[in-house]
Structure 1
Amino acid sequence: MVSMAEVVETVAIFIAGALAAAAVFAIDQGGMYLLLALLAVFLVVCMAIRWPAMEKRVCLLVLGDIGRSPRMQYHALSFAKHGYHVDLIGYGGSKPHDEIVQNEKIVMHPMHEPPSLPAFLPRIFHYASKVVLQAAMLTVYLMLGIPRAKIIMLQNPPAIPSIAVAWLIGLLRGSHIVIDWHNYGYSILSLSLGARHILVKFSKWYEKMFGRLSSANICVTNAMREDLEKNWGIVAHTMYDRPPLIFQETDLDKQHDLFLRLSGEHPVFGSDQPNQTAFTESTSNGVKSQPDRPALLVSSTSWTEDEDFSILLTALEKYEKACVAKETHLPNVVCAITGKGPMKEHYKSVIATKHFKHVHICTPWLVAEDYPRLLGSADLGICLHTSSSGLDLPMKVVDMFGCGLPVCAIHFNCLHELVKHEENGLVFHHENELAEQLQDLLSDFPSNQKRLQSFRENLQSFQRLRWDECWNQSVLPIVEKLSAQ
């Protein structure tokens, strides 16, 4: 059976090709008006095909993997709880939360990634072809693939081409555009191209230009809200990331079950003794922690340029040397680094060159339901997110805090809005400082966990305020106001 994604992709490629051919012909013949007429006819046909009666409906647009976009999934669930029908458009790949899949009010529309051009072509051709095909596919989805939505909420970044396409469709179909600013797309692009590159400059102009055309804006920090207003002329409302209730401390029974399952692919979680894992033991009186268990460190990442994992690897090397020197009692460490991304294979090859005896590193990919269980089983979280703009906050730390997990996080400008040094975790600036923090926190572990326990107690107030409460306070009033217009 042919999927909706395949139909839309075929139609989009056909339309993109036809419009490109028409453009070449029109320009060649001096008939720019012919090209404009063709575009007008196409848009009118699209509107005539899909113009149903307005209903309580919202479209969430993620130009990325839906399963790896937790904030947009949480938005979808919140809209559904308030009676909205939700069309969730984005790329497939990772499995979303079960609540998303099972919710009758949420319909997912997984897109296909645009086909790649031959590798020998210049980067600009790859970039241009991707943008054109994405724009065509989004146009077809938003005009033909879903009923008309009262609100189109899109995640930024990426900004190109989603903001412009959403704005155009909103103009044609009477939809309000809401942008959820997670970061700035141009700042991420500058990591690989440099701040002075023409594409970076164009991207910044584009984000500012089309961002101002939205009906409403939300963002993830007060620092970003202030920057949007001062430097972009955009009024936004801060909606801090907050974890849903699935992020909790994991009880020992569930820890034991998780470690047994993970040990099949990652032996560092297992044991050569029956009914045991490296961390837990099942007895006639229930599951207990191993008295000499290693410390479990967890870091999650998208394996991109804004996270320098050489810092963590260097700190772990120093920790290994301290264990060998035996100047203080330090436990063995299992460091689990979860996630997918472009630089994962590079770092895996670097990790493979390390010959540790007291430090064990693994890079599992976890299903959505197991990720919070691992965080809730860990002793310490590590965050290397530095933010390309210096204005967003790492959602991984939000998830860790939801599980009552203290963190060591690398410093950047607005980190203080989330991580309070010496209150709910520690902030470091370089690998030497991280190495010192690991040794201080884990000295005489697991018998001595006073500092870690103090951080956990201080996180209890954070844990009480969850996603639903924040969404109802920050986003729902905006949604209701737009819905009434």
Structure 2
Amino acid sequence: MLAPVVAAALWVLATWLLWRMRAQAPGRTAIVVVLGDVGRSPRMCYHVRSLIEAGWSVSIAGYFESRLPADLDQAVHRLPLYTPPKMLQSLPRALFAVVALIKVPLQAVTLLVQLVMHHPRPALVIVQTPPAIPTLGVVRVACAITRSTLVIDWHNLGYTLLALKLGARSPLVTVARTLERWLGARADVHLFVTEAMRTQLLAQWRLSGRTAVLHDRPPAHFHRLSPPERDAFLARHPSFVAGCASKLVVSSTSWTPDEDIGMLIEAAALYEARARRDAAVPPICIVITGSGPLREAHERAIALRAQREVWSHVTIRTAWLATDDYPRLLGVADVGVSLHTSSSGIDLPMKVVDMLGCGLPVCALSFACLPELIEPGVNGAVFSTADELAVRLLDLLTGRLQLPHTGFVGTDALTWQAQWTRTVAPLLPP
């Protein structure tokens, strides 16, 4: 009952606004759309920074739950979207469809109003996907009304993330895939985080418009800290070196099913067993950063395992860091661990990008696209099991494995801004 009413209201609103907007001339204005927490969406913040440097006036439509990076806080105009109550996000899986029927129309209406009512009329709209629904449908309607150039920045495939929650055979997943393919096929510009993603979507989804691959890169403030900076940071976070740990290992996670935290816990137990037998193996503190739905369950599992086995060489801490403190943590760590398993198989983990930007040796869980970022034995190490992860940590932390290069290698060593200027700027409106 609700859906037809919302559809009719949207049609009336779109018709009126189309008539109203025809007389407006677009300014050099861009709107960046993030149906998520903008402060925790680094790639889109990098787009905003690059647009500003290129002379655009930028507005951001999204959720502002976390503080924006300091250099963007006063430089952009905020367009807040409807924020679903947190209770809706924690309801059982069986109620997912009911929640979606309430949440999606409200998100769609508020996003459409923010886009089409913006003055001056935007010449450019860049949208992050996923989430694909309702974002892609709304921005397509809005750009048709405002005659704006539409850029879709493909981070992953939304229906594959939904399949992690509902199962690949769920009818809702099938519907989501169909809608994502149909709504996402037509845009003026498509950006992709990997070459594999561009190749697959061009072949299977027959995308129209111009395309470019824009690999993730961290900004300049992701770097190794100097000794005074390191001491100052650790003085504010003494728990990261509790127990006289001589090495610091960092793993960033969103605590979701596509990241196997259990594998890290098992590898930590194997490392502890080896350290008891070999005095040359250094004690470590593993810091797991981030927030997400499975955090509390894994924290309980970690505490029980360490207590039952009486760990003395391995300490595991969980943390939710301020935006500015996250690169500092990476800048003092000795090894970074990525447990990301791509739901689609064609995206790359931003956490590895951040770690490489800070010059960290990286242990990354293997999957098909990883060679676009990590060359095993050159700028990182790859593992597939907990046993292999434990061995990689032992090799790196004892010095048995010496990587000849830290950071990005080959032609991909360009900074974000250099890539953006070369690949994205020529595709935007003059």
8 Å CA contact retained: 1:390, 1:412: yes
1:143 deviates by: 2.1
Alignment counterpart, residue 342 of structure 2, candidates 387, 402, 407: 387
8 Å CA contact retained: 2:223, 2:359: yes
Match of 1:178 in 2: 151
Aligned equivalents of 1:87, 1:58: Cα separation in 2: 6
Of residues 82-91 and 50-59 in structure 1, the stretch that sits farther from structure 2 once superposed is 50-59
How does the TM-score come out when normalised to structure 1? Answer: 0.82
8 Å CA contact retained: 1:401, 1:463: no
Matched, 1:58 2:49: no
Aligned equivalents of 1:415, 1:146: Cα separation in 2: 42
Structure 1, gaps ≥5 residues long = 1-18, 25-34, 272-277, 279-292, 444-448
Matched, 1:474 2:426: no
8 Å CA contact retained: 2:379, 2:409: no
Alignment CA distance shift 1:21-1:74 (3 Å): closer
Aligned equivalents of 1:419, 1:377: Cα separation in 2: 21
Aligned equivalents of 1:205, 1:463: Cα separation in 2: 33
8 Å CA contact retained: 1:187, 1:389: yes
Alignment counterpart, residue 349 of structure 1, candidates 300, 317, 326: 300
Match of 1:451 in 2: 401
Deviations 1:378-419 (Å, cap 9, x if unpaired)? 110000001000100111111111111110000001101101
Deviations 1:163-209 (Å, cap 9, x if unpaired)? 00000011111112110000000011111111121111111111111
8 Å CA contact retained: 2:377, 2:403: no
8 Å CA contact retained: 2:140, 2:150: yes
Match of 2:96 in 1: 123
Letter in 1 for 2:262: S
Deviations 1:78-127 (Å, cap 9, x if unpaired)? 00001101111111212221111132xx2122334124569588321112
Match of 1:215 in 2: 188
Aligned equivalents of 1:206, 1:439: Cα separation in 2: 46
Alignment CA distance shift 1:463-1:179 (3 Å): closer
Matched, 1:110 2:85: no
8 Å CA contact retained: 2:380, 2:403: no
8 Å CA contact retained: 2:337, 2:363: yes
Letter in 1 for 2:84: P
1:53 deviates by: 2.9
Letter in 2 for 1:317: A
Alignment CA distance shift 1:147-1:341 (3 Å): farther
Matched, 1:200 2:173: yes
Match of 2:223 in 1: 248
Deviations 1:434-480 (Å, cap 9, x if unpaired)? 1111122222xxxxx47346343x7576895211001101111111x
Alignment counterpart, residue 401 of structure 1, candidates 356, 380, 400: 356
Instruction: Within 5 Å, give how 1:260-409 maps onto structure 2.
Output: 260-263=235-238, 267-269=239-241, 294-326=246-278, 329-353=280-304, 354-355=306-307, 356-409=311-364
Letter in 2 for 1:184: L
Aligned equivalents of 1:462, 1:307: Cα separation in 2: 29
1:212 deviates by: 1.4
Does the residue aligned with 1:454 lie in a helix, a strand or coil? coil
1:241 deviates by: 0.6
8 Å CA contact retained: 2:3, 2:105: no
Match of 2:5 in 1: 23
8 Å CA contact retained: 1:59, 1:151: yes
Alignment CA distance shift 1:365-1:166 (3 Å): same
Letter in 2 for 1:425: G
Match of 1:289 in 2: none
Question: What is the aligned-residue RMSD (CA, Å)?
Answer: 2.3
Q: Work out the number of aligned pairs and report it.
A: 420
Of residues 240-249 and 48-57 in structure 1, the stretch that sits farther from structure 2 once superposed is 48-57
Match of 1:436 in 2: 391
1:363 deviates by: 1.1
Instruction: Within 5 Å, give how 1:53-92 maps onto structure 2.
Output: 53-92=25-64
Alignment CA distance shift 1:412-1:463 (3 Å): closer
Deviations 1:332-375 (Å, cap 9, x if unpaired)? 10111111111111111111212321111111111121111111
Does the residue aligned with 1:405 lie in a helix, a strand or coil? coil
Aligned equivalents of 1:324, 1:216: Cα separation in 2: 56
8 Å CA contact retained: 1:402, 1:462: no
8 Å CA contact retained: 1:404, 1:460: no
Percentage identity across aligned positions?
39
Aligned equivalents of 2:118, 2:2: Cα separation in 1: 22
Does the residue aligned with 1:363 lie in a helix, a strand or coil? strand
Aligned equivalents of 1:52, 1:395: Cα separation in 2: 39
Alignment counterpart, residue 238 of structure 1, candidates 186, 210, 213: 213
Does the residue aligned with 1:214 lie in a helix, a strand or coil? strand
Alignment counterpart, residue 72 of structure 2, candidates 69, 77, 100: 100
Match of 1:227 in 2: 200
Alignment counterpart, residue 168 of structure 1, candidates 141, 152, 159: 141
